Amino acid sequence: MAIEKTDKIWHNGKLINWDEATIHVMSHVIHYGSSVFEGIRCYALPSGPAIFRANEHIQRLVDSAKVYRIEVPFTREEIVKGMLETVGHNGAWPCYVRPIILRGYGEAGVNPFNSPTEVYIINYPWGKYLGGEVEGCDVYVSSWTRLAPNTLPAMAKAGANYMNSQLIKMEAIVNGYVEGIALDINGFVSEGSGENLFLVHRDKLITAPLGNSVLPGITRDSVLQIARDLNVSIVEQVIPREMLYLADEAFFTGTAAEVTPIRSVDKINVGKGVTGPITKAIQKEFYALVRGEKPDRHNWFTAVPVRSKQPVSV
C-alpha cells in the first residue's frame, strides 16, 4: 500500500515538515541496518482516535534499542507523548504509527558507537495488510529459515532482521502466495515474514514460544489475553511442521495483519478450508475491542488529543 503523506513528522522532540525528514546517505543505518522500530495502529473509536497498546509497543522499542546498545535520549513516556502529538497534529486516523530509532551520520565502518542517535515518529493512513479476507489467505512454508538465535536477536524489532522477512515475503509473492511461514534453525515452526502464528488443534490454541525465533508480538499477547477471556485452552509449545497440515484452524496476528485467518498451507486446506469457530470468536472479540464496540476492559488504548475529530477514510 502506497504511503499517504501527512503534514508533520516528530524528530528528536520537535515536529518538522514531512519533506524535511531526511537523513544523510552516509548515515550508519543506511549502510549497516542499525535501526529499531515499531508498527502501531491508531484506531478511530467512537470517543475519538486512540493508539493501541502504546506503552507496550514503546517498551519493546526501548528494549530493542537496549539489546543493540543504542542509547535513547528519550524516555518511554516522552516517546508515547510524541506519538500522541504527531497523530493529534496531523489529524489522520485510523492510521499507522511508526516510531524509529536509528544511528545517523557519524563515522564509517561497522563500529556504530560514534554515530548519533536519531528518533523519528511518523503516522499516515493505512488499511488492511493481508486483505482481511473473511475466508482466509493461502500461504506456504518458506525455503528461508528464520533467524538463528545466535545470529540476530529475534526478540528485538530491528530493521536488519527484516531483510530476512523480505526474502520470505518476496518468495511467497513470486510463487503466488500471500505470505510465507518460516521454520526456525531446527526445522520447527516460527512465524510469518511479519506476523506471529497461531494454530487450533483439538480445541486448543497453540503458538510457538519465543525460543523458536519468535518476536514477542503485542497483538500476539493481546490474542492470548482474549483467548483467556473466552476460556479457550492455550498451549505454547514447539510446533513440528506437519502440525500446519493437521491443524483444524490457523491464523496470523500482528499490528498490520491484526487477526487474519489462514485458509491453506502448501495447498493443503487448513481444516475445512474456511475460518474455524475459535478463530472467528477471537477475531470477533478483537475487532469489537479495537472498534470500540466493547469497553476497553484491559486499558489497551491511549486517547489522542486532537484539533479535529474528522477521521480520514482508508
Cis peptide preceding 73, ω within 30 of 0? no
CB neighbour list of residue 47: distance below 8 Å, 6 or more residues apart: 292, 303
Residues annotated as part of the active site = 157
Quote the DSSP letter at residue 240: B
Rounded CA gap, 114 and 26, in Å? 13
In order of 122, 188, 251, 255, the CA distances from 38 in angstroms are 11, 26, 21, 9
- Residue 190 to residue 184: CA distance in whole angstroms: 5
The C-alpha atoms of residue 29 and residue 254 are separated, in whole angstroms, by 25
Are 309 and 48 a contacting pair, CB within 8 Å?
yes
Pairwise CA distance, residues 185 & 190, whole Å: 9
Q: Strands 204-207 and 233-236, how do they pair?
A: parallel
